[in-house]
Amino acid sequence: MSDPVEIYADQWLSFTLPQRHARGRVVRLDGLIDAVLSAHDYPAPIKHLLAEALVLGALMGGLLKGDGAQLTMQAQTQDGPVRLLVCDYRDGEMRGYADFDAGALEELGANPTLTALFGKGYLAITFETEKGQRYQGIVPLEGDTLAEACEAYFVQSEQVPTLIRLATRSGQKGAIAAGMLVQHLADGEEGRERLHVRLDHPDWEHVATLASTLSHEELTQPDLSMEALVWRLFHEEETITIEHGPQLGKGCRCSVEHYEGVLKRFPDGELQAMRDESGAIIVDCAFCSKAFSLEI
């Protein structure tokens, strides 16, 4: 018997359950995870945290419509080992970065909790539309996982009942991360005024109960496609519609041209203070760990 073929393609799959007024996303990441994590020598707890953040970014970014729309998720604190965790999604391109205190992190052991990592932090999620409109919600960084913190964001800031499941594992070719997001929509229509969204709506209770049975093993199962996973959960529904999202990849907007454009906004006096002994201005990109020498 031949070995099962791993079905991971850095892609998300959207689905809707019209009769249950619900929508969802499934995403699986492999090459993208390694591309982002390889920019820095992250310890194991930070690799796990950043991998989960990238899955969440892909799940929430997949809710956006229109070219140029962007999702940014940022977790930040002043009293925890992880000072900053950030990732964003735009047009199928993702990037992520974590800033942390290595000494304080080492004292926490192998599997620190979210509270231990961030202390009393906050989670900010920003949606920017293709028309430049910007919407941001900020909630306390509470719960045992990043997924629970994002669920709280949707309930508190968007009034949308949401269930999220995440999983990560190590594969022969590198890290693999996956997740599912399911949401209940008032009257089953996107964009309608949410006048009577109920957390205890019977349709949502049914969908959430089924989605809650999803295991970590199923999310990262080598021979289980995303379509098969959705069908396994919701095969008794009258209708399931699916749509494949774009290929996802690492994308950083750092370039000489980009930074020159940013620096031109500074007055001459401040630019002079930035120069090194050779007269150049060195700019480091935290996302991809590249240094740019600019003579401007």
Structure tokens given for 239: 């209708």
Over 60: is that where the pLDDT of 150 sits? yes
Which residue, 219, 235, 250, sits at the end of a domain?
250
Structure tokens at 192: 């309608």
pLDDT tens profile 186-237: 654 444 444 345 556 788 999 999 999 999 999 998 789 999 999 999 999 9
**Cα distance between residue 255 and residue 23, in whole Å:** 37
With beta carbons less than 8 A apart as the criterion, state whether 8 and 225 touch.
no
pLDDT tier for residue 185 given thresholds of 50, 70 and 90 = confident
Residue 54's nearest CA partner among 252, 290, 248, 255 is 248
Question: Region 251-267: what's the mean pLDDT?
Answer: 77
Number of domains observed in the structure of the chain: 2
Residues 134 and 265 in one domain: no
Based on the fold, state whether residues 265 and 215 are members of the same structural domain. no
The confidence band for 254, taking pLDDT boundaries of 50, 70 and 90, is confident
The mean predicted confidence, pLDDT, of the chain is 85
Distance CA 148, CA 180 (A): 13
pLDDT digits (tens, 9 = 90+) for 55-104: 999 999 988 887 888 999 999 998 889 999 999 999 899 999 999 999 99
pLDDT above 70 (res 267): yes
Residue 220 domain-assigned? yes
3-state helix, strand, coil in the chain (%, to 5): 30, 30, 40
In a domain, 91, yes or no: yes
Over residues 127-134, the mean pLDDT reads: 84
Residues 189 and 260 in one domain: no
**88-97, 130-139, 267-276 — which is least confidently predicted?**
267-276
Domain membership flag for residue 267: yes
The answer, yes or no, to whether residue 259 has pLDDT greater than 90, is: no
Residue 201 within a domain = yes
Same domain, 125 and 33: yes
Q: What are 116's two structure tokens?
A: 């231990």
Two structure tokens written together for 94: 């993702």
Q: Inform me whether the pLDDT recorded for 282 exceeds 60.
A: yes
Same-domain status, 204 and 278: no
Q: Give the pLDDT mean for 163-175.
A: 83
Rounded distance, CA 76 to CA 280, Å? Answer: 32
Residue 4 counted as domain residue: no
Please check whether residue 71 is in contact with residue 125, taking contact to mean a CB–CB distance below 8 angstroms.
Answer: yes
Angle, helices 202-211/226-234, rounded to nearest 10 degrees: 130
**pLDDT band at 174; cut points 50, 70, 90:** confident
Q: What is the DSSP string of 114-161?
A: HHHHHSS-EEEEEEE-TTS-EEEEEEE--SSSHHHHHHHHIIIII---
- Same domain membership, residue 176 and residue 34: yes
Residue 145 and residue 260 in one domain: no
Instruction: Yes or no: say if 296 and 264 are a contact pair by the CB < 8 Å rule.
Output: yes
As to burial, measured by CB atoms within 10 angstroms (0-12 exposed, 13-18 middle, 19+ buried), residue 200 is: exposed
Within this chain, do residues 91 and 238 fall inside the same structural domain, yes or no?
yes
Q: Are residues 30 and 64 in the same domain?
A: yes
Domain span at residue 282?
Answer: 256-294
Whether residue 6 lies inside any domain: the answer is no
Whether 277 and 151 share a structural domain: no
Q: What are phi and psi of 193, to 5 degrees?
A: -60, 130
The Cα 133–Cα 81 span in angstroms is 33
Task: Look up the CATH number of the domain holding residue 106.
Answer: 3.55.30.10
pLDDT at residue 23 in the model: 94
Assess whether 91 and 139 both reside in one domain: yes
User: How many Cβ atoms are within 10 Å of 189's Cβ, its own excluded?
Assistant: 9
- Give the model's pLDDT for residue 186: 67
What is the spatial distance between Cα 166 and Cα 147, in angstroms, rounded to a whole number?
7
Does some domain include residue 49?
yes
Q: Which two structure tokens, joined as six digits, stand for 13?
A: 């799959």
pLDDT > 70 in the chain, percent: 91
The pTM (predicted TM-score) of the whole model is 0.86
pLDDT value, residue 62:
85
What digits encode the pLDDT tens for the residues 17-57?
Answer: 999 999 999 999 988 999 999 889 999 999 999 999 999 99
Residues 82 and 171 in one domain: yes
| Least confident interval from 98-112, 135-149, 191-205, 278-292 | 191-205
Helix residue ranges per DSSP H, the chain: 31-37, 44-61, 102-106, 114-118, 146-153, 202-211, 216-219, 226-234, 256-263, 268-274
- Whether 185 maps to a domain, the answer reads yes
